[in-house]
Amino acid sequence: MRRALTLVLATACGLTVANLYYSQPLLDLIAHTFGVSQGAAAIIVTFTQAGYALGLLFLLPLGDLVENRKLTTRLLAGTAGSLLLAAVCPAYPIFLVISVLVGLTSVVAQILVPLAAHLAPPEQRGAFVGKVMSGLILGILLARTVSSFVADLWGWRTIYFISAGLMVVLAVVLRRMLPERAPDHTAGYASLLFSVVKLAREEPVLRRRALCQATMFAAFSAFWTAIAYELIGEHGFSQAQIAIFALVGAGGAAAAPLGGKLADRGYGVVGAGVALLLGTLTMVLAAVGHRSVVLLAVAAVLLDFAVQIHQVSSQQEIYALRADARARVNTVFMTTVFTGGAISSALTGALHHRYGWTGTCVIGAVFPLIGLAIWAFGRRAVGSPAVEPERVSVP
């Protein structure tokens, strides 16, 4: 894989997935604009993630049916249109519907990650996926910083105009740089969706990895959905200060390439268990140290680090299961993950409204504990060794 193409894939993943997170630090401003409560505004995150989950379920499998370059550019056009509608939306109920559309069309990132796995040498697949994933993770983490700064300067709607323009630019660049890839599946869309269900039923490793990552992402969503409220209410932060805090959390993106290299060397299973335990401990730290901005920042970095280690090690393993169905494997994995995130965002809005930051941290700590139990059960069921053997693609 050429270095330039790797950079383009990482950038594209980051810019597209950022659309899911621009709203998180802006919830207070959006609530004020539309005249709704903070709890109601938090539903925006839930609707966006729910739309993404629908896109993962119904659009992502097309990566194994439709030529990938064509599919990517068409989805980016839809994303640009949805973002423009969000930027000019006059009413809160309409904004919620548009948020679903933004999430639905932003699945481009998850089409590009399996494409990176296809282009990489089997023995370096984890490292290549890790590099592309580092761009995706930076997009998730920097989205909050960028949207906060932009909102502080020009208002919260501006970020949607800017992102719409970026989606158009991305469509042009990817059209020129992506190699053509015609998938092997030719039986039709209905057969494609049925095969997704069949994959989930036949691959226990895929189910376990997906459920465990869903619990990690649930903790991640709980933390970042409520942190702006905590920083504003407890510490009197402005939007610019929230942006700087979110920038600190971006340090966790360094875990993606590291996670890929560890997985390539056979430490993916052990690393996943450590990451799940770390996820719970960081939410406890966030609860105990909530009066200290420094401790909250440390918790943010550690949580992001744990989430990315677990995700990249999971993807390295699941992409080796079915080389001819990586988009559908990714569909099962990421649909499960973002369903967990959407559930967590909804619970976080209700719990934070009633119990404050403590309620957020409790639910955020419980989710990875559930994942750790699933991980432990899976190891016992298959008798996994302390170090898992290297996996290779099945032709």
pLDDT in tens, 306-316: 988 888 888 87
Q: What is the pLDDT of residue 105?
A: 93
Whole-angstrom distance, CA of residue 44 vs CA of residue 21: 10
Whole-angstrom distance, CA of residue 135 vs CA of residue 155: 26
Whole-angstrom distance, CA of residue 273 vs CA of residue 281: 13
Alpha helices in the chain (DSSP H): 3-17, 27-34, 38-58, 68-88, 92-105, 108-119, 125-154, 158-177, 189-202, 204-235, 239-249, 255-264, 268-288, 293-318, 326-382
Q: What is the pLDDT of residue 257?
A: 64
Task: Give the dihedral of Cα atoms 8, 79, 223, 340; nearest 10 deg.
Answer: -100
Whole-angstrom distance, CA of residue 42 vs CA of residue 39: 5
Q: What is the pLDDT of residue 163?
A: 96
DSSP three-state, residue 61: helix
- The half-sphere exposure of 351 on its side-chain side, counting CA atoms within 13 A, is 18
pLDDT band at 158 (very low <50, low <70, confident <90, very high): very high
pTM confidence score? 0.74
Most confident of 54-63, 206-215, 386-395: 206-215
- Burial level of 251, CB count in 10 A (0-12/13-18/19+)? middle
- Which residue do the tokens 């680090």 mark? 305
- Those residues whose C-beta lies under 8 Å from the C-beta of residue 292, and which sit 6 or more positions away, are none
Residue 292 CB neighbour total at 10 angstroms: 12
Q: What is the pLDDT of residue 390?
A: 41
Domains, the chain, in order of start with CATH, read: 3-382 (1.20.1250.20)
- DSSP assigned state of 180: P
pLDDT in tens, 220-266: 989 988 888 889 888 888 877 887 887 776 666 666 566 666 666 76
Whole-angstrom distance, CA of residue 34 vs CA of residue 36: 6
pLDDT in tens, 100-138: 999 999 999 888 887 777 777 666 666 677 778 778 878
Positive/negative CA dihedral, 248, 53, 24, 13: positive
**Position 389, amino acid:** P
Q: What is the pLDDT of residue 389?
A: 41
State both tokens at 390: 């290297």
- Those residues whose C-beta lies under 8 Å from the C-beta of residue 312, and which sit 6 or more positions away, are 126, 129, 130, 133, 255, 256, 259, 260, 263
In the predicted model, what is the mean pLDDT of residues 171-195? Answer: 81
* C-beta separation of 144 from 242 below 8 A: yes
